[in-house]
Chain A
Amino acid sequence: MDYSALWLSVRLAATTTLVLLAIGIPIAYWIVFSTWRGKFLVEAIVALPLVLPPTVLGFYVLLAIGPLSPVGRAYARLAGHGLPFTFEGLVIASVLYSMPFAVQPFSAEFASVDRRLLEASWSLGVSRLETFRRVVLPLSVRGLVTGIVLSFAHTLGEFGVVLMVGGNLPGVTRTVSISIYDAVQSLDYAAASRTSLLLLIASFVILASTYSLQRSVWVKPRH
């Protein structure tokens, strides 16, 4: 089995999930609580990766972080190397690719918090941001967990975007799904099936434990 590819995928999924937690919460907050009429545009952009072919997304990300774009050139000047075909480049692409899997569960859960709880909090003199931190976030644990798990699992198995942006550099950008593809290409079905089975079991365990957790995640009454 290609352990370095597996390890790379886990690192990529974990990093992507952390980044999504950091930027997904503010984006979801904004989507739920903004009164701007045009916010459906932002919602649509966030949801794009759900329907866009990964190769298309990967292609645009490649252009955006490559030496042809100002962003790519600025990064290259600062870091000494370009973003394409690096781990950092993969993280950027994965964050965009998995964004709906974090932001949508987050925002659905934020929106389901009883609005009167927010109004009660405001009337008690607590600011909107503090209310979000003290009421909305703790009541949205389920949605946060769902978003985290889905982002992780989704990133773990991504293929097209990674291939477009990262290529296939062992230990740097060769993720587990690309390693499976390589194994099949070289007719090494035994290696492909071992890795595939591992990925299948891992995904199933992650999802199953999330769903079971959701049933009892909330504060249980003390008796």
Chain B
Amino acid sequence: MGEASPLTAGPNRLRQGYGGPPKRSAEAEGPAFHPTESGLPSPKGPGLHVDVERRFASGFHLSAAIDVELAAGSILVLFGPSGAGKTTVLRQIAGLERPDAGAIRFDDEVWCDVARAVWRAPQERRIGLVFQEPTLFPHLTVRDNMQYGVRPGSDPVEEIAKLLGVADLGDRYPRELSGGEARRVALARALAPRPRLLLLDEPFAALDMPTRARLRRDVRGLLHRMATPAILVTHDRVEALAMGDAVVVMIGGRVRQSGSIGDVFSHPADADVAASLGVEAVVPARVLSASRGVLEVAVGAVVLQVAERDPLAPGTDVYACIRAEDVTLGTQLSTHASTRNHLAARVVSITAEGPVDRVSLDCGFALDALITHRSREELNLTPGVQVTAAIKATNVHLVPRF
């Protein structure tokens, strides 16, 4: 077990401050982005309080309560399957829909309070909004689109346009843009009036993977730079892991769990949440080195070997995802076959899940293994026993955190 390095994994390590992304080293910082010194506690941000109810004619009943502090530049992910009510909550926060009952407060302002008949129009909330489709004004040039919400003469948008790489597109019309460019312009338009909160409703869903990855990185960087907090609606776990600092899991119109990304993904509150998040263990890690198609990744003091699917530079912060089905248990350190990772582990608990047993392990970080009853008996597993957990390098999936 390692000493306390900044990345040491373990039950406590996963409990990151709300809104605190995995800390990165100074070298890993981009040059202009991330003005907040890493390692320092993130500045206290405005609070968002949502407690809303809405009944739809379809019978769908939304009843969601969210109470979070949105640190400057942090991203809160509203995560859940389609039809969970995420977008409705986002639209209520934006002021585009009204709840039947409840209240929404941001910072020291009441945006909506049905009981007291308080209502602030979207114009008065100073938010930025980006939909799944870019919804640029088709009759205006890119420049006029970006200037749209900015009073003439104030707040030049050039800086934001430059940071998003769309400064050269000013004279074009929206129909002349690619999908990725249009999203960037939509983001620039939303951020130009310096909103206090950016709302993103699956803004990258329709884009191809490489474009999406670049946009995620740029948006995170820009939000940090502008110190603007954001709420991101998504049902894509990779997007949630890549962009989120904190997550609120919604299922069937209810908030089922909320907390830091690491906490929620590694400790789902119940089976529904686990199913919606995916069945993998998710642990924060950092790339140490890359050679001949194998990445060495530090998870706390433990080093995992991972097949390199996408090139990742040493120093990159990642989430390592490992499915319980892919973890093999043995009683002694073996070097057989092609399995590259053999971790010394202690059995923490064993729970029966139908025909198989879920064995929770502590191997420097929390990890689950699914094995048959028979294997459990043959290995003589009980809590406290030392075992070896084997994971193939190809079974560890990395989600980079830019």
Structural contact, B135 and A123, CB atoms closer than 8 A: no
Which of B128, B138, B189, B199: most chain A CB closer than 10 A?
Answer: B138
Q: Interface digits, B104-135 against A, CB 8 Å rule (1 contact, 0 not)?
A: 00000000000000000111011111010101
Main secondary structure of the interface of B (DSSP, over half): loop
Question: Given known contacts A219-B173, A221-B175, is B123 in contact with A126 (CB within 8 Å)?
Answer: yes
> A82–B382 Cα gap in the complex (Å)?
105
Question: Given known contacts A119-B129, A122-B121, is B175 in contact with A114 (CB within 8 Å)?
Answer: no
With an 8 A cutoff between CB atoms, is B96 at the interface?
yes
> A47–B172 Cα gap in the complex (Å)?
41
With an 8 A cutoff between CB atoms, is A125 at the interface?
yes
With an 8 A cutoff between CB atoms, is B139 at the interface?
yes
Structural contact, A122 and B96, CB atoms closer than 8 A: yes
Question: Given known contacts A139-B139, A221-B175, is B131 in contact with A125 (CB within 8 Å)?
Answer: no
By a CB distance below 8 angstroms, the chain A residues around B6 are none
**Nearest A-chain residue to B135, judged by Cβ:** A116
Structural contact, B176 and A221, CB atoms closer than 8 A: yes
Question: Given known contacts A114-B135, A138-B139, is B128 in contact with A123 (CB within 8 Å)?
Answer: yes
> A21–B16 Cα gap in the complex (Å)?
61
Structural contact, B96 and A139, CB atoms closer than 8 A: no
Structural contact, B149 and A124, CB atoms closer than 8 A: yes
> A124–B147 Cα gap in the complex (Å)?
10
**Nearest A-chain residue to B91, judged by Cβ:** A119
Q: Interface digits, A211-223 against B, CB 8 Å rule (1 contact, 0 not)?
A: 0000000110110
> A124–B155 Cα gap in the complex (Å)?
14
| Shortest beta-carbon distance from B52 to chain A in Å | 18
By a CB distance below 8 angstroms, the chain B residues around A139 are 138-139
With an 8 A cutoff between CB atoms, is A121 at the interface?
yes
Structural contact, A126 and B148, CB atoms closer than 8 A: yes
Structural contact, B193 and A120, CB atoms closer than 8 A: no
Q: Interface digits, A121-142 against B, CB 8 Å rule (1 contact, 0 not)?
A: 1111111000000110011000
By a CB distance below 8 angstroms, the chain A residues around B138 are 139, 219
Structural contact, A127 and B135, CB atoms closer than 8 A: no
With an 8 A cutoff between CB atoms, is B103 at the interface?
no
Structural contact, B123 and A117, CB atoms closer than 8 A: no
Structural contact, B122 and A122, CB atoms closer than 8 A: yes
Partner of A116, one of B95, B126, B133, B171: B133
| Shortest beta-carbon distance from B325 to chain A in Å | 42
Pairs A-B, 6 closest by C-beta atoms? A124-B149, A123-B129, A122-B122, A116-B135, A138-B139, A123-B122
Q: List 27 A-B contacts (CB under 8 A).
A: A114-B135, A119-B94, A119-B96, A120-B129, A120-B189, A121-B148, A121-B149, A122-B95, A123-B95, A123-B125, A123-B128, A123-B190, A123-B199, A124-B148, A124-B190, A125-B123, A125-B126, A126-B148, A126-B149, A134-B148, A135-B137, A135-B139, A139-B139, A218-B139, A219-B138, A219-B139, A222-B172
Interface residues of B (CB under 8 A from A): 94-96, 121-123, 125-129, 131, 133, 135, 137-139, 148-149, 171-173, 175-176, 189-190, 193, 199
Interface residues of A (CB under 8 A from B): 114, 116-117, 119-127, 134-135, 138-139, 218-219, 221-222
